[in-house]
Amino acid sequence: MGSQLTSVKALMLVAAASSLLAMAGVTSAAVIASDNAAGYTGAITTGLNSGTGFGPWSVSTGGGAAGTFLASGTQGANIATNSQSWGVYANTPSNGGTPRVDLTRAFNSALTAGDSLSVAMQTDGVGNSGDFGFSLQTSNPINQFTFAYDGTQGYNNVSIADGSHGGAEYQAPSPGINFTDINNGIIVTFTLVTANSYDLTVSPAGSNNNFSTVNLITNGTLSGGTISQVDLFDVNTSGNGYFNSLAVSNVPEPASLAMFGAGALGLLGLARRRQRV
């Protein structure tokens, strides 16, 4: 009877160890926050709170004709979900102003190491005086990171602003992402590595086949501020812009996976010893 109980306990330990090993092998991202345009019935407005893991939208406009709309059909088609995306426009100055629209949304929890934010972007036109992209901000708000196609800079590729270069915009490193890429739709993924560093990956969206996924920046520099919200913006552009599929996810850190693995191996060793008793 005693040997049977020992065998049963050993089998239970083996099962537990197998579960831990399986958990240690899982590297898929856990979704923390997610929203897309599929379920929207109209334009983004202040106070609207769809999806999960985010606070409500805040919409700010000024400087001329600027605003939001629900894009459909061929508009933003490469980043659309259920043929819809979040449309923005800021293309007619008034009284010498600069038209601008900002769509700001707080995270329910600030980004921590290992968290990745992704967003899909597409534009019909930016022009020499336009700026289209997104910023990650503190709650103040102070920009900690910006990714944009900024026509005012005269760059061939997108520009970045982070904790380097004194916080000033600089052209993204080679191979870069150019206007044609954004015009056909891209998915940008920002991963917070530590409070002071990040990785940046850009992938083609939908039927965009102009380029393959690019690891644009590895171990980029941040100033260390807590990233609490995202700002999607369109400034004085020559055409409409589109955003969609805003999400925050987390992949377990290697150290955590190693702890699972060590625990599993320990249980397997204990199970073998009990089987020999």
Identify whether residues 107 and 230 lie together within a single domain. yes
107-118: average pLDDT: 98
Report the CATH number at residue 154.
2.60.120.200
Identify whether residues 158 and 66 lie together within a single domain. yes
Identify whether residues 229 and 215 lie together within a single domain. yes
Identify whether residues 160 and 51 lie together within a single domain. yes
Identify whether residues 55 and 7 lie together within a single domain. no
Count: domains in the chain: 2
* 139 vs 128: CA distance, rounded Å: 31
Give the chain's end-to-end CA distance (angstroms, integer): 13
Look up residue 213 and give its two tokens: 């996924």
Identify whether residues 186 and 164 lie together within a single domain. yes
Expressed as residue numbers, the domain containing 20 is 1-26+254-277
Identify whether residues 176 and 219 lie together within a single domain. yes
pLDDT of residue 210: 87
Identify whether residues 148 and 268 lie together within a single domain. no
pTM score, whole prediction: 0.83
Worst-scoring range by mean pLDDT, 91-95, 141-145, 148-152? 91-95
Identify whether residues 218 and 149 lie together within a single domain. yes
pLDDT in tens, 198-236: 999 999 999 898 899 999 999 999 999 999 999 999 999
* 256 vs 77: CA distance, rounded Å: 39
pLDDT of residue 270: 45
Lookup result for tokens 């369109």: 234
Name 35's bridge partners.
Answer: 246
Neighbours of 185 (CB within 10 A): 25
